[in-house]
């Protein structure tokens, strides 16, 4: 994995429990541009690697901006990044993108809480292109809404504070009422919130036009797992037992595959499928990617067929 040492140039308390870190290179070399919607691996002071969305303008090259929410029960990832100060150094990986802007007549961005971070980069890029888009931002209160002022003044975001969960579907249906299948929907936030958004918008714009950015891994029932065979495009063949992933089996046999979260979130181990049918269990591929069946996340996904032939990216 290629990493870059960066220095914390600025720390801003954006909201209750959420701070942003502006990252630069000491040698003044560019850190961008990057593709809107991308995230990076960040190695913090404790050595833990976590993924954070980039929320600065994608076309700006002088710095990158991430926002970190201090999670309750943090094992040292977000908590450690809430202790860094200006001048401290971190390591970041190359930007990776699972939330790309689609070719569409209209774009609707719906954020829940700190899920606004990847949508900000989309909004910057859509605004730069002169595309038709709208941003809706849900949070419990303005004090808990990072970048609320920026979203409102820069992108005309509609801010929805303190809306009871029971009222979300009604409000979301009002937004969806003016859409058709030529529109695309992008959402990020708590899992329950994104499920609500998807349930409202998918019947209107189509499931493949709903793009979701996940923070946490899906719960997976492994009780029915069966062994299968995986073949690499190089001809090497390996048996994958019920209790192990393709990624772990390859690693045990000296096959180096780049990976990060190993929970099906970050997309770093996504590889090509040349033959066979994958059983998708990730939270990184889109509905369209899954339907195509030509790629899979090796860390969590398995096979519906007795044999898979894959190509490592």
Asked whether the bond before 33 is cis by omega within 30 degrees of 0, the reply is: yes
Nearest to 189 by CA among 242, 111, 272: 111
**pLDDT of 197-252, one tens digit each?**
999 999 999 999 999 987 666 677 788 899 999 999 999 999 999 989 999 999 99
State the CB neighbour count (10 A cutoff) for residue 181.
12
The domains located in the chain, with CATH, are 3-97 (2.40.30.10), 106-213 (3.40.50.80), 228-311 (3.10.20.30)
- Please write the tens of the pLDDT for every residue from 145-169: 999 999 999 999 999 999 999 999 9
**What tokens appear for 12 in the block?**
């801003």
Name which of 143, 154, 153 is nearest 121 in CA terms: 154
Kind of pairing between the strands at 228-232 and 307-311: parallel
- Cα 113 off chain centre by: 14
- pLDDT, tens only, 114-151: 999 999 999 999 999 999 999 999 999 999 999 999 99
């Amino acid at each position: 994995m290629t990493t870059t040492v960066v220095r914390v140039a600025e720390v801003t308390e954006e909201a209750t429990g959420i701070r942003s870190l502006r990252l630069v290179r000491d040698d003044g070399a560019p850190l961008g541009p990057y593709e809107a919607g991308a995230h990076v691996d960040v190695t913090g002071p404790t050595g833990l690697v976590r993924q954070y969305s980039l929320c600065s303008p994608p076309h700006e090259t002088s710095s990158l901006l991430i926002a970190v929410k201090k999670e309750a029960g943090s094992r040292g990832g977000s908590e450690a990044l809430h202790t860094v100060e200006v001048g401290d150094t971190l390591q970041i990986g190359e930007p990776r993108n699972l939330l790309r802007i689609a070719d569409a007549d209209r774009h609707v961005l719906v954020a829940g809480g700190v899920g606004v971070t990847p949508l900000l980069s989309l909004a910057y890029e859509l605004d730069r292109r002169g595309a038709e888009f709208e941003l809706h931002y849900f949070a419990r209160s303005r004090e808990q809404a990072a970048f609320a002022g920026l979203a409102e003044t820069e992108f005309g975001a509609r801010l929805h504070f303190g809306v009871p969960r029971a009222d979300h579907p009604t409000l979301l249906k009002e937004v969806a009422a003016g859409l058709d299948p030529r529109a695309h929907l992008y959402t990020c936030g708590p899992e329950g919130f994104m499920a609500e958004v998807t349930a409202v918008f998918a019947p209107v714009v189509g499931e493949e036009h709903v793009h979701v950015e996940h923070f946490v891994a899906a719960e997976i029932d492994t009780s029915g797992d069966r062994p299968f065979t995986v073949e690499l495009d190089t001809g090497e063949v390996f048996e994958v037992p019920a209790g192990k992933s393709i990624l772990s089996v390859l690693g045990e046999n000296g096959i180096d595959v780049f990976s990060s979260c190993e929970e099906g979130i970050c997309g770093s181990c996504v590889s090509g499928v040349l033959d066979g049918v994958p059983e998708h269990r990730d939270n990184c591929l889109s509905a369209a990617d899954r339907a195509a069946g030509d790629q899979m996340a090796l860390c969590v996904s398995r096979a519906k067929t007795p044999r898979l032939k894959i190509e490592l990216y």
